[in-house]
């Protein structure tokens, strides 16, 4: 609820708006020629709070505090304010929130979007904002109409009197602005919801179906120049020298210069810049990563697991010790298996891009990002500007899946923009990555090797569950990137440098990065558990990809659970039900999916596999129906049951499950990034294959009816799909596939 601590008056102050009475409100819409506060919707608009403004013309402006990347915050969060304000969501004008602490993520302490948390952290604060605003308008209407507030009703942006007269909210905004701001007005009871829990088309559907939705790459400004960057084939290598003689002969090429990670070519037109880039030769510095190839990393991980017991992340009961007893007991079976997943690229449909303009001490930047607040800090830090002079204009994100939570494309834009501004002052430049750049310069989902070992008693109960994961840690790279950017505010500079250098090594021998092992042990009731981690990092840049550690621990844990069920001669559904007695919600989705997917009765020629996984506070179970012909795996249908608490927009929850399943299916069937002598071998969609429409299964989603508060949906659909398919493939073929992507022998 921390967002609400900023009072209306406080927020007006933050905007530098007028005092008291009518305020000159600022439309904070994404892009503008200059000022953050441009084009007020109306000079007489009422600023109700940080999130809402209403004009005398009855236009409601909502400042969207979490970015929209497809996951549905645009529609979902608008639904929350619309519900309590009594306005239809499609009548609300949604604006991207500017950087302001009023829009900080309550859990992150900065303005950002991620971790499938947007609905969870907004469910009360945004409804409260809507309810307070509505109460304010009702009070004003009551005063003006000379009735008591209790006699007035509200409906779709109107005050309704007892005699049925309808007055638009806008009529009362002048008076409302002179009244005290109500706080903590009671929220609606669930039984009174008109929008929450109801089916309604998403409100960004029209702009996204007519080509008018604006993404970062669509930003256009007078005299905008375009830049492409020749990047080193090996991450971390620097340009030692370059020759741009031929490139500079092309008409239109404005400037060619070296930056930290490559050579930038700026031209008036993108095609010229691309052509010019082909004419530049660059010599790169040598970096250690250049001696690494992915052919040996799995072996490196394996030998690390052979020789090191690593760090303990979690232990319950006697932990792995309990296995010793089991090994010598006649009533126990010990099962052991090794699982593997490769590196993955995010491959958002919109490649990375960023538009930037420097004008003296001021910088404007236009982009889609998950790290709105950190972008401002990064530009200020790397550009040596005051934060107050950095204006971040966010757009919709053409996909992100974690990728636009990184700052590399911002930091390089600062370097390009500043260098370019020396010859072309106050001229905007847009850096557009090619698909090849995007594929080869990602923050990859780490490759991971895990060894799992368990003992089952003669009743089929798992007594011991031990898992050790080996690979690199995502958090090291995230910390490296943000620590110098975010830290100066509270740490002395020497300490910042120290930390920034330590970030990389922090998780090697100090603590286990929770993202590396999350999801490995949490779900099942087992008396003895132990999770350990052995860090092996070859220096490939790592990052968060949709469902983060769960993207592979779901595969490890759920495939292994299937192996245990088969070893114990138990039905895989029953096995899971038996081990989720202390988790009724996980138990519930397993039971439900078995019922709706008709577990045990697949269509002729098809085979079923089940997987269930809890992530981001939500519970998802899936049953995949698969057939196998030769070595070809066809996924016909996926049935999915999700318990994400109250579904604010049930159809969007379904869409996120569908999308998560298809995203995860690309990883299950095709996804693999490899590198040779430090350079990523894949470059575009022909060698980094994604599921296409013809391969997409039918997806049937059921949502558990729940009164619990909402939890994540953007990511939790991903983890169960790979193991559900692998488990079905085992049913079909008897082959246990323990590596992704799934390949039949």
Partner 1 sequence: MIHFMLNGEPVSTDVPEDTPLLWVIRDYFNLKGSKFGCGMGLCGACSMQLDGVSTRTCILPVSAVEGRHVTTIEGLGTADNLHPLQKAWVKHSVPQCGYCQSGQLISASALLAQNPNPTEDDIANAMSGNLCRCGTYPRIKDAILDTAAGGVAQWEPPGSDNAPSADSVSDGVAQEKSVAGGEA
Residues 339-368 that bind ligand FES (CB under 6 A): 349
Tell me if 606 sits within 8 A of 636, measured CB to CB. yes
DSSP 9-55: HHHHHHHT---SSS----B--S--SS-SSB--S-TT-EE-SSSEEE-
Looking at the DSSP bridge assignments, the partners of residue 609 are 624
Binding residues among 694-723 for partner 1 as defined by CB under 8 A: 694, 696, 698-699
* Closest approach of partner 1 to the CB of residue 659, in Å: 4
* Closest approach of partner 1 to the CB of residue 460, in Å: 36
Rounded CA-CA distance 518/618 in Å is: 14
Of 459, 692, 708, 709, the one binding partner 1 (CB under 8 A) is 692
Of 5, 601, 632, 686, the one binding partner 1 (CB under 8 A) is 686
Rounded CA-CA distance 330/595 in Å is: 36
Residue 369 interacts with, from ligand FES, partner 1, none (CB under 5-8 Å by kind): none
- Contact between 206 and ligand FES by CB under 6 A: the answer reads no
Of 319, 399, 660, 712, the one binding ligand FES (CB under 6 A) is 399
Of 663, 715, 730, 742, the one binding partner 1 (CB under 8 A) is 663
* Closest approach of partner 1 to the CB of residue 369, in Å: 14
Of 661, 703, 724, 740, the one binding partner 1 (CB under 8 A) is 661
| Cα dihedral sign, 61-66-67-71 | negative
Region label for 471, one of left (φ > 0), alpha (ψ between -120 and 50) or beta (otherwise): left
Which of the stretches 84-92, 109-117, 233-241, 613-621 binds partner 1 when contact is defined by CB under 8 A?
A: 84-92
* Closest approach of ligand FES to the CB of residue 238, in Å: 30
**Nearest to residue 653, comparing CAs of 669, 636, 662, 641?**
641
Of 103, 401, 443, 465, the one binding partner 1 (CB under 8 A) is 401
Binding residues among 44-73 for partner 1 as defined by CB under 8 A: 68-72
Rounded CA-CA distance 256/85 in Å is: 53
**Nearest to residue 544, comparing CAs of 359, 405, 691, 743?**
405
Tell me if 740 sits within 8 A of 671, measured CB to CB. yes
> How buried is residue 723: exposed, middle or buried, by Cβ count under 10 Å (0-12/13-18/19+)?
buried
Per-residue binding string, ligand FES, 16-55, x by CB under 6 A, is ----------------------------------------
- Contact between 246 and partner 1 by CB under 8 A: the answer reads no
Q: Which lies closer to ligand FES via its Cβ, residue 202 or residue 225?
A: 202
Binding residues among 333-392 for partner 1 as defined by CB under 8 A: 347-351
Which of the stretches 83-91, 505-513, 514-522, 565-573 binds partner 1 when contact is defined by CB under 8 A?
A: 83-91
Residue 684 interacts with, from ligand FES, partner 1, none (CB under 5-8 Å by kind): partner 1
> How buried is residue 567: exposed, middle or buried, by Cβ count under 10 Å (0-12/13-18/19+)?
middle
Residue 220 interacts with, from partner 1, ligand FES, none (CB under 5-8 Å by kind): partner 1
Rounded CA-CA distance 447/300 in Å is: 12
Reported as type and span, the H/E element at residue 702 is: strand 698-703
Q: Which lies closer to ligand FES via its Cβ, residue 379 or residue 432?
A: 432
Rounded CA-CA distance 431/354 in Å is: 5
Q: Which lies closer to partner 1 via its Cβ, residue 221 or residue 744?
A: 221
Of 56, 70, 402, 405, the one binding ligand FES (CB under 6 A) is 70
- Contact between 221 and partner 1 by CB under 8 A: the answer reads yes
Residue 214 interacts with, from ligand FES, partner 1, none (CB under 5-8 Å by kind): partner 1
Residue 229 token pair = 């960057």
Tell me if 621 sits within 8 A of 612, measured CB to CB. yes
Q: Which lies closer to partner 1 via its Cβ, residue 294 or residue 627?
A: 627
Q: Which residues bind ligand FES (CB under 6 A)?
A: 70, 349, 399
């Amino acid at each position: 609820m921390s967002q609400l601590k900023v009072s209306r008056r406080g927020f007006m102050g933050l905007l530098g708006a007028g005092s008291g009475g009518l305020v000159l409100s600022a439309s904070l819409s994404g892009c503008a020629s200059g000022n953050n506060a441009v084009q007020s919707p109306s000079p007489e608009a009422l600023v109700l709070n940080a999130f809402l403004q209403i004009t005398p013309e009855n236009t409601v402006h909502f400042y969207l505090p979490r970015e929209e990347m497809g996951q549905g915050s645009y529609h979902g969060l608008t639904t929350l304010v619309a519900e309590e304000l009594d306005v239809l969501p499609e009548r609300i004008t949604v604006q991207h929130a500017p950087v302001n602490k009023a829009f900080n993520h309550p859990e992150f302490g900065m303005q950002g979007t991620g971790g499938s948390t947007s609905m969870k952290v907004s469910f009360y604060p945004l409804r409260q904002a809507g309810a307070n605003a509505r109460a304010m308008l009702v009070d004003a209407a009551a005063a003006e109409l000379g009735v008591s507030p209790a006699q007035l009703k509200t409906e779709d942006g109107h005050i309704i009197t007892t005699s049925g007269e309808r007055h638009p909210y806008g009529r009362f905004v002048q008076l409302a602005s002179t009244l005290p701001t109500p706080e903590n007005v009671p929220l609606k009871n669930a039984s009174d919801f008109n929008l929450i829990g109801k089916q309604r088309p998403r409100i960004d559907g029209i702009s996204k179906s007519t080509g008018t939705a604006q993404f970062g790459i669509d930003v256009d400004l007078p005299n905008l120049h375009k830049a492409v960057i020749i990047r080193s084939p090996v991450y971390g290598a620097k340009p030692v020298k370059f020759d741009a003689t031929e490139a500079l002969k092309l008409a239109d090429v404005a400037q060619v210069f070296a930056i930290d990670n490559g050579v930038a070519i700026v031209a008036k037109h993108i095609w010229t810049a691309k052509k010019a880039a082909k004419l530049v030769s660059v010599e790169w510095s040598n970096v250690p990563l250049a001696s690494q190839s992915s052919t040996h990393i799995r072996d490196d991980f394996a030998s690390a697991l052979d020789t090191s017991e690593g760090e303990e992340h979690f232990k319950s009961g006697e932990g792995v010790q309990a296995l010793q007893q089991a090994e010598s007991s006649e009533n126990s079976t010990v099962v052991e298996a090794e699982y593997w997943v490769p590196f993955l690229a995010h491959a958002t449909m919109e490649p990375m891009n960023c538009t930037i303009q420097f004008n003296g001490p001021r910088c404007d930047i236009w982009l889609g990002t998950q790290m709105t607040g950190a972008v401002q800090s990064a530009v200020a830090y790397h550009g040596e500007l005051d934060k107050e002079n950095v204006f971040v204009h966010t757009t919709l994100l053409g996909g992100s899946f974690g990728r636009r939570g990184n700052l590399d494309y911002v930091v390089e834009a600062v370097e390009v923009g500043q260098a370019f501004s020396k010859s072309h002052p106050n001229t905007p430049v847009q850096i557009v990555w090619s698909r090849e750049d995007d594929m080869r310069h990602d923050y990859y989902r780490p490759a991971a090797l895990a060894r799992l070992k368990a003992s089952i008693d003669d009743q089929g109960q798992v007594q011991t569950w031990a898992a050790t994961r080996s690979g690199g840690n995502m958090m090291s790279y995230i910390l490296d990137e943000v620590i110098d950017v975010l830290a100066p505010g509270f740490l002395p500079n020497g300490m910042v440098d120290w930390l920034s250098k330590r970030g990389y090594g922090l998780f090697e021998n100090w603590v286990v990065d929770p993202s590396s092992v999350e999801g490995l042990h949490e779900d099942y009731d087992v008396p003895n558990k132990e999770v350990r981690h052995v860090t092996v990092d070859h220096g490939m840049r790592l990052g968060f990809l949709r469902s983060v550690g769960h993207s592979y621990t779901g595969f490890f844990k759920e495939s292994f659970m299937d192996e245990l069920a088969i070893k114990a001669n138990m039905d895989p559904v029953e096995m899971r039900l038996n081990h989720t007695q202390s988790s009724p919600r996980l138990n519930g989705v397993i039971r439900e999916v078995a019922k709706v997917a008709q577990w045990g009765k697949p269509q002729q020629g098809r085979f079923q596999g089940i997987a269930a996984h809890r992530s981001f506070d939500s519970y998802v179970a899936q049953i995949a129906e698969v057939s196998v012909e030769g070595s070809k795996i066809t996924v016909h249908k996926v049935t999915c049951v999700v318990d994400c608490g109250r579904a604010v927009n049930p159809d969007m929850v379904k869409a996120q499950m569908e999308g998560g399943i298809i995203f995860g299916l690309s990883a299950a069937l095709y996804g693999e990034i490899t590198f040779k002598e430090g350079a990523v071998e894949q470059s575009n969609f022909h060698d980094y294959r994604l599921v296409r429409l013809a391969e997409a299964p039918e997806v049937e989603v059921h949502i558990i009816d729940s009164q619990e508060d909402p939890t994540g949906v953007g990511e939790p659909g991903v983890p169960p799909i790979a193991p559900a398919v692998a488990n079905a493939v085992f049913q079909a073929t008897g082959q246990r596939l323990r590596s992704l992507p799934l390949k039949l022998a």
